[in-house]
Amino acid sequence: MAYAQTLTPRPGLGLPGTGALVVLGLGTIALALTQGAAQGALFLVGGALGMSLYHAAFGFTSAWRVFILDRRGRGLRVQMLLLAMAVVLFFPALASGTLFGNEVRGLVSPAGLGVIAGAFIFGIGMQLGGGCASGTLFTAGGGNARMLITLVFFIVGSVLGTVHFDWWASLPALEPVALWQPLGPWGGIALSLAIFGTIALITMRVERNRHGTLEQPPESERHGMARWLRGPWPLVGGAVALVVLNFLTLAISGRPWGITSAFALWGAKIAQSIGIDPTAWGYWQRPANAEALQSSVFSDVTSVMDFGIIAGAMLAASLAGRFAPSLRIPLRSVIAAVVGGLMLGYGARIAYGCNIGAYFSGIASGSLHGYLWAVAAFAGNMLGVALRPWLFMERRTSRADG
């Protein structure tokens, strides 16, 4: 898959895997004692997400690029399955407002020009940076040194997005609305499933027209428990894991899984430490954001889960025998990582989320902005794919790394 590292001779925990396991264990205990049981549990959920993303190589970026270049739609169809399972689970809970006795709410945001611009920018950044928000975290945690560069500039771009956030938010937009509000949960589910099914059928027709047959999942050398422990997982297995873990996030934290708001928070705290005052920007004057800026990052749900994803991916990479960081990164690839990271961060912030917060969790919440985000981001991916050969010196093929 796109994010694989070179296999080492003997898969196993090793020093990186042992360290990741210790961090997950002690971190869970420390967070539970200092921040509450929920934070400790969410750190573990993040770890499970990191392992699932890595072992399934669940990349949104590569799946979109494969379809754009090769017209192979297996990855896109699995994403439609992911979204279908999510709405079936999420809509009834969100419509009732409670889950297992706890209050829950969706990630529902305005759908307007800011979302279109931000998602389009994010889409270009996906292909130049070599990953999306979840992809950047799990590949960086898995030992991909280039993605660490993307992550650093993802954080920088996120902070820059908060500088201009209020201007983008002032542009024309529809009021926040979820499909289950006017249609009810079952009406919203029916409409959503129709949309996902139509997209899946389109990818099948396009793929058959190009290749004659549909791509089949590759055979794995590992079977049984060895496969689930060391990977690679089937894409469908990864999709099921992501949906279940996102639903668990909703149950514990009261809202679905997100990633990139933490990047903006980390960047703003770093800015504070070097004498820059982010509280002068409207984004950080909003009550929830202002409180997060004044508090520890370990009290922030998204930050804790992001830390867990990195640790979980490192553990998965070690178990698979693929944790082998290399600093030999071509200059053009470094430039692409810098530019792509900036675009990812800036685009995600002004579009109310990334491929997780806006696309996966936004659509799982029924938010119209999630659907608008998907269309604009796919258009950005098409431009990003066209730009990749200039920065990666690659032929026009979907099989390149990233």
At residue 280 the predicted structure's pLDDT band, cuts being 50, 70 and 90, is very high
Dihedral sign, Cα of residue 379, residue 239, residue 38, residue 110:
positive
Query: In this model, does residue 51 exceed pLDDT 70?
Result: yes
Residues 335-368 as b/e (b if ≥16 CB within 10 A, e otherwise) read ebbbbbbbbbbbbbbbbbbbbbbbbbbbbbbbbb
Average pLDDT over residues 374-395: 87
Query: In this model, does residue 2 exceed pLDDT 50?
Result: no
Which tops the pLDDT comparison, 393 or 306? 306
Phi, psi of 398 (to 5 degrees): -80, -5
Q: Distance of alpha carbon 42 from its chain centroid, rounded? A: 16
CA–CA gap between residue 128 and residue 390 (Å, rounded): 10
Query: In this model, does residue 326 exceed pLDDT 90?
Result: no
Query: In this model, does residue 16 exceed pLDDT 90?
Result: no
- pLDDT for 31 equals 98
- pLDDT for 399 equals 41
Query: In this model, does residue 402 exceed pLDDT 70?
Result: no
CA–CA gap between residue 278 and residue 318 (Å, rounded): 38
- pLDDT for 267 equals 97
Query: In this model, does residue 4 exceed pLDDT 60?
Result: no
The average confidence (pLDDT) of the chain is 92
CA–CA gap between residue 323 and residue 314 (Å, rounded): 7
Query: In this model, does residue 59 exceed pLDDT 90?
Result: no
| pTM greater than 0.85 (yes/no) | yes
Average pLDDT over residues 179-188: 97
